[in-house]
Structure 1
Amino acid sequence: MELSSKLEYALLALLEIANSYESGEPLQIQQIADAQNIPKRYLEQLLATLRRGGLIKSTRGVKGGYVLAREPYQITILDALNCIEGLEATVPSRSTTNSVGTKVIGGVWEEACQALYAVLQQQTLQDLCDSYSKNSHLPLMYYI
């Protein structure tokens, strides 16, 4: 399974919103886009999907913006995956052939997917925030 740019941008947006959760102040689209370097038009679509999925709430007006719908520790990475990619992305597809080799490979693939989803179910936005704050002071290394 590969991390899609759609899911990565959604997680970055959720991370930004989660980092400001304690203040209670909603974040505006432009603030999130600037902080995480996400194209604004793309971010608008992602935030609408996250809102429909119940992970964030929006408020209108001058002081409006986006806040988490639940505490950061209550939103898992698997929740975000299900919201952005849909349920079909979380269920391994079945092969149409019924050979012994296909069944063996399918069994291993299903076990690997279950392990991945178990990790994604355990990791929350709070875990991302904690890791972010722990690593944010480290300088970035640029190589040419």
Structure 2
Amino acid sequence: MMEISSKFRYTLLALLELAKHHEQGELLLIEQIAFVQQIPERYLEQIFMSLRRSGLVYSRRGVKGGYLLSNPPEQITLLEILNCLEGVNSQQQCVDASQTIGNILIQEIWQEAMSSAMTVSEGYTLRDICYQQQQMQDCDSMYYI
């Protein structure tokens, strides 16, 4: 079974934190995000360099500096985030004449699985995940007498 990488998990948590503050236009410092989301600060700095280069976040230096999403959360998909971190896998693997039918079949099934995962990832935005997170927190905070 495929596991979610720590890099992707931390990136998504950091972006969700930015998404929560996006409407207010509030810039967040890496230290703030690291503390709230319990992410190693050094690792988060590297992640934010990639996010800035890819255009997913905007940064401002100085006393009132920090990071902000470049686009509204409803315009940023999971697929966009994955492509930022992992790069777009545009390489089509050629079928080698020496490959067995079994290997070819496995490759085709894997490509289909990856295509499905990409389709699902394209259907979720940061706004969707923030909403679901809020729903779960609301259910968690309910109490009964």
**2:1 is equivalent to residue 36 of structure 1:** no
- Structure index of larger Rg: 2
Q: CA deviation at 1:92?
A: 7.5
Contact map agreement 1:55 1:69 (CA 8 A) in 2: yes
The 5-angstrom pairing of residues 80-119 of structure 1 reads 80-88=81-89, 97-119=98-120
In the other structure, the counterpart of 2:59 is 58
List, as ranges, runs of 4+ consecutive aligned residues in structure 1 with deviation greater than 2 Å: 90-98
Partner SS, residue 80 of structure 1: helix
TM (norm. structure 1) is 0.88
CA 1:52–1:112 in structure 2 vs 1: closer, same or farther (change >3 Å)? Answer: same
Can you list the C-alpha shifts for 1:39-79, whole angstroms capped at 9, x where unaligned? 11111110111010110000111111100001111111111
Give yes or no for contact 1:7–1:85 (8 Å, CA) kept in 2: no
Cα 1:92–1:16 change in 2 (3 A) is farther
Report the identity percentage: 46
What residue ranges of structure 2 are gaps of 5+ in the alignment? none
Q: How many residues align?
A: 138
Structure 1 residue aligned with 2:19 = 18
Could you tell me which residue of structure 2 aligns to residue 48 of structure 1? 49
Which residue does the alignment assign to 2:9?
8
The answer to whether the aligner puts 1:70 opposite 2:62 as a matched pair is: no
Identify if the C-alpha distance between structure 1 residues 47 and 125 changes in structure 2 by more than 3 Å, giving closer, same or farther. same
Structure 1 residues 94 and 135, CA gap change in structure 2 (3 angstroms): farther
Q: Is the alpha carbon distance of 1:20 and 1:109 closer, same or farther for their aligned partners in structure 2, counting shifts above 3 Å?
A: same
State whether residues 95 and 102 of structure 1, in contact with CA within 8 Å, keep that contact through their aligned partners in structure 2. no
> What is the Cα deviation at residue 86 of structure 1?
1.8
| Equivalent residue runs for 1:129-140 within 5 Å | 129-137=130-138, 138=140
- In structure 1, the gaps of 5 or more residues are 140-144
Q: Using the TM superposition, give the Cα deviation of residue 106 of structure 1 relative to its aligned residue in structure 2, in angstroms.
A: 1.5
